[in-house]
Structure 1
Amino acid sequence: MPIRNIAVGHYRETTQPDALKAALAEFISTLIFVFAGEGSGMAFSKLTDGASNTPAGLIAAAIAHAFALFVAVSVGANISGGHVNPAVTFGAFIGGNITLFRGILYWIAQLLGSTVACLLLKFVTGGLETSAFALSTGVGVWNAFVLEIVMTFGLVYTVYATAIDPKKGNLGIIAPIAIGFIVGANILVGGAFDGASMNPAVSFGPALVSWSWTNHWVYWAGPLVGGGLAGLIYELFFIGFGTHEQLPTTDY
């Protein structure tokens, strides 16, 4: 059972050089991702005089986030694992793949990276607002909550299958692009309903800088539940006890 693999770790772990380097990598990767993703929305809004909530704007956001996440995961993968997302870190913790103290260090770095990215965007755009995530008309908080669970489940499940699973083999090469693609695809699905966050850090930075917290809990609770479920299910059924190993071809 994966719950037996969960490790709290020791507080001294947060002062170790490798942990601090990993946290710095998470900070930089999240800054890169949020700067490009949030910035693309701000740029499109400026070019269209505020009419960013259009099919073209949704496609532009999906492409920008997919490309930016592909890069952010790639540059952080060899140092921190390239989580770039508190929900991914939480899913890894639930599956026993990261300690609690190291995970908290990652969370702090991710939230700081998102906040700094939004502050930089506000400065370089001459004070344009970094829009916080919000629900569309007719979408209730529980609709958005379930939507965030489902989308984040797909994201963290993809992370497990392509990056964490020890049997991934050469599949690990495409992990960053697969992770970027699932986020881009989910934005095309959920972007028109609740903005398609899937990432508490991505929601936190804009909300803090614009000081807009309406329904903000949805963008924490949904992704954390979805990420935790993905980590639990993948670790339990595909990595944990009873996992079937394919026979070598010579045994057929």
Structure 2
Amino acid sequence: MPIREIAIGRPEEATHPDALKAALAEFFSTLIFVFAGEGSGMAFSKLTNDGSTTPAGLVAAALAHAFGLFVAVSVGANISGGHVNPAVTFGAFIGGNITLLRGIMYWIAQLFGSTVACLLLKFATGGLTTSAFSVSSGVSVWNAFVLEIVMTFGLVYTVYATAIDPRSKGNVGIIAPIAIGFIVGANILAGGAFDGASMNPAVSFGPALVSWDWTNHWVYWAGPLIGGGIAGLIYEVIFISHNHVPLASSEF
């Protein structure tokens, strides 16, 4: 069972050069992703007078996030595994593929990267607001909660199948960043009109902090973490051999 593979990690891991480099890679990857994704929404709103809430705006957001995540995962894959998402990190931890200590380092780096990206956007755009994620009118917080669970489940399941599974090396491993970007873009098209389709606590945290808007913010943490944890548990238990050798830290 994955629970036997779960590890806290040794204290010295926090100062190990490889762990520090991996956390730094997560910081830059998340910064790149959030800057592109959040920035595209801000630009579309400016160009179309708040047209980001239109069907065209939804498509633009899906494309920007898909392309941005493809790049962010690709540039971080060889160093940290390119998680770019606390829910992905949590799913990897639940499956016994990353230690708790390294996971916490990733979380800090991801949240910091998202915050810096939003601060840079606010400065570079002359003070425009970085919009926090919100639940649309007519949609309850519990609807949004379920949406985030299901969408993040699909994302983390895709990460496991294309990147974490030891059998995903070769051609499948090569297309992992593309597949991960595609599923995020598709989920934004499916759920973006209802709750913004975050699937990523870091993506929600930066805009909420910079704009200081925490309305229903818990949904964008609880939903993705539950969905990611379920995906990691299911994939590890059902599809990965219980006796597999844990991945090297550079593969996380």
For Structure 1 versus Structure 2, the TM-score category normalised by the shorter chain is over 0.9
Q: How many residues align?
A: 243
* Offset from partner CA, 1:203-243 (integer Å, 9 cap, x none): 00000000000000000000000000000000000003399
Code of the residue aligned with 1:193 in structure 2: it is F
Cross-structure match for 1:137? 137
For the pair 1:86 / 2:76, whether they are aligned, the reply is: no
CA distance in 2, matches of 1:191, 1:134: 10
CA distance in 1, matches of 2:241, 2:111: 31
* Offset from partner CA, 1:100-158 (integer Å, 9 cap, x none): 00000000000000000000000000000000000000111111000000000000000
Cross-structure match for 1:188? 189
The SS at the match of 1:52 is: helix
Cross-structure match for 2:222? 221
For the pair 1:211 / 2:212, whether they are aligned, the reply is: yes
CA distance in 1, matches of 2:145, 2:225: 10
* Offset from partner CA, 1:52-95 (integer Å, 9 cap, x none): 10000000000000000000000000000000000000000000
* Aligned-pair CA distance for 1:11: 2.2
In terms of Rg, which structure is larger? Answer: 1
Cross-structure match for 1:102? 102
Code of the residue aligned with 1:172 in structure 2: it is G
For the pair 1:202 / 2:203, whether they are aligned, the reply is: yes
The SS at the match of 2:123 is: helix
Cross-structure match for 2:63? 63
* Offset from partner CA, 1:11-66 (integer Å, 9 cap, x none): 22111000000000000000000000000000000001122100000000000000
Q: Please list, as runs of the form range in 1=range in 2, the aligned pairs for 1:6-155 lying within 5 A after superposition.
A: 6-155=6-155
Code of the residue aligned with 2:200 in structure 1: it is N
Code of the residue aligned with 2:52 in structure 1: it is S
- CA contact under 8 A between 1:200 and 1:220: conserved in structure 2? yes
Task: Point out the more displaced range, 80-89 or 8-17.
Answer: 8-17
Cross-structure match for 2:5? 5
| TM-score normalised by L of structure 2 | 0.95
The SS at the match of 2:52 is: coil
Cross-structure match for 2:249? none
- CA contact under 8 A between 1:2 and 1:240: conserved in structure 2? no
The SS at the match of 2:167 is: coil
- CA contact under 8 A between 1:158 and 1:179: conserved in structure 2? yes
- CA contact under 8 A between 1:134 and 1:215: conserved in structure 2? yes
CA distance in 2, matches of 1:131, 1:239: 39
The SS at the match of 1:167 is: helix
| TM-score normalised by L of structure 1 | 0.95
Cross-structure match for 1:236? 237
CA distance in 2, matches of 1:96, 1:51: 43
Q: What is the aligned-residue identity percentage?
A: 84
CA distance in 1, matches of 2:10, 2:145: 33
Cross-structure match for 1:248? none
Cross-structure match for 2:250? none
- RMSD of the alignment, in Å? 1.0
Code of the residue aligned with 1:215 in structure 2: it is N
Code of the residue aligned with 2:215 in structure 1: it is T
Unaligned runs of 5+ in 1: 244-252
CA distance in 2, matches of 1:240, 1:233: 12
